[in-house]
Amino acid sequence: MGLRERVWVGTTVALMVLATLAVFGYAPREAKMGDVQRIFYFHVSTAWSGFLAFGVALVGAIAHLRTREARWDQLSHAAVEVGLVLLTMAVITGSLWARPVWNTWWTWDPRLTTTALTWVVYAAYLLLRGAVENPETRARFAAVYAIVAFVTVPITYLSARLLRTIHPIVLGPSVSSEAQGQFGLTPRMVHTMILSLVAWTMLFSVLLWMRYRVQRTQEALEALEAVLEG
List, for residues 123-142, the tens digit of each pLDDT value. Answer: 999 999 989 988 899 999 99
* Phi, psi of 199, rounded to the nearest 5 degrees: -65, -45
DSSP conformational letter for 34: B
CA–CA gap between residue 49 and residue 2 (Å, rounded): 25
State pLDDT tens for residues 75-118.
999 999 999 999 999 999 999 988 887 788 888 888 889 999 99
CB pairs under 8 A, 24+ apart, for 103-108?
107/166
Residue type, position 59, single letter: V
State yes or no: pLDDT of 198 exceeds 70: yes
> How large is the average pLDDT for residues 156-172?
71
Residue length of the chain: 230
Adjacent-strand bridge partners of 34 = 30
Task: Render the burial of 165-204: b for 16+ CB within 10 Å, e for the rest.
Answer: bbbbebeeebebeebebbeeeeeebeebbebbbbbbbbbb
Give the distance from CA 129 to its chain's centroid: 20
